[in-house]
Amino acid sequence: MLGGTAEARALAAALSERGVPVVSSLAGRVARPRLPVGEVRVGGFGGPDGLAAWLAEQRVGTVVDATHPFAERISASAVAATRTAGVPLLRLERPGWQASPGDDWHWTASLPEAAGLLPELGRRVFLTSGRQGLPAFAHLDDLWFLIRCVDPPEPPLPRRHELLLSRGPYQVEAEIGLLRTHRIEVLVTKDSGGSMTAAKLTAARELGLPVVLVRRPAPAGAPETVTSVDAVLARLPRVD
């Protein structure tokens, strides 16, 4: 299983309870990741060919891609590698967020496009799009950013910013307090989906703040995509 998400950890636990041997592969981009139940492998495979060779060597029966919705390269590698190795592939991807009455959402196709919208939406920005995309905002010298991510980011960063190292899940009241304390005027995030970080969207709605959301990349082409752990379990053979 290609993991790193809450869904991947839940699936690993469910498979372990069923007696299904599972190896969870983590990319290694987070310094202290939450580890799933069972065997864990950290680091890359050397591209699709390396992953295909590993699948054959380990005699893997099924690959589940349960990576983050924005992990484009890993998902594309999984599609190519499983085709080469002749191994079934199933994509587990949480549903995206849906707007509710009162939301002021502005959809964009990329982080640079999101950065281009900010000057007309607010001067104090809560940026929760992940540490790897921060250079897209580094040129916005007239804006102030509260940047929240799990691990310390590498430069370039926006000149005027405060860094908040934190990991979800988050609660609505705490998020409202954070936005008020820092006088935030606009929120920027990716459409990651799930409940662990959705509280910021509710908080923005409660405070009447605009939200800039980056759309998910196009699907990598997995033969089948499901949205729940139960759906994965229903498609995998049971080990008695």
- Which tens digits make up the pLDDT trace of 182-216? 999 999 999 999 999 999 999 999 999 999 999 99
Give residue-wise pLDDT tens across range 25-53.
Answer: 998 777 788 899 999 999 889 999 999 99
Is the CATH number of domain 6-95+218-235 3.30.450.20? no
- What integer pLDDT is reported at residue 224 of this predicted model? 94
Give the residue from 89, 110, 112, 134 showing the smallest Cα distance to 216.
110
* Plot region of 14 (φ>0 → left; ψ -120 to 50 → alpha; else → beta): alpha
56 burial level (CB within 10 Å; 0-12, 13-18, 19+): middle
Same fold, 6-95+218-235 and 104-214: yes
Q: For residue 131, give the DSSP letter.
A: G
Give the residue from 132, 135, 164, 133 showing the smallest Cα distance to 147.
164
**Structural tokens at position 72:** 């484009």
- Helices 47-58 and 72-85, axial angle in degrees (round to 10): 50
- The structural architecture, per CATH, of the domain 104-214 is 3-Layer(aba) Sandwich (3.40)
Q: Where are the domains of the chain?
A: 6-95+218-235, 104-214
* Plot region of 170 (φ>0 → left; ψ -120 to 50 → alpha; else → beta): beta
Q: Is the pLDDT of residue 240 over 70?
A: no
Give residue-wise pLDDT tens across range 66-93.
Answer: 999 999 999 999 999 999 999 999 999 9
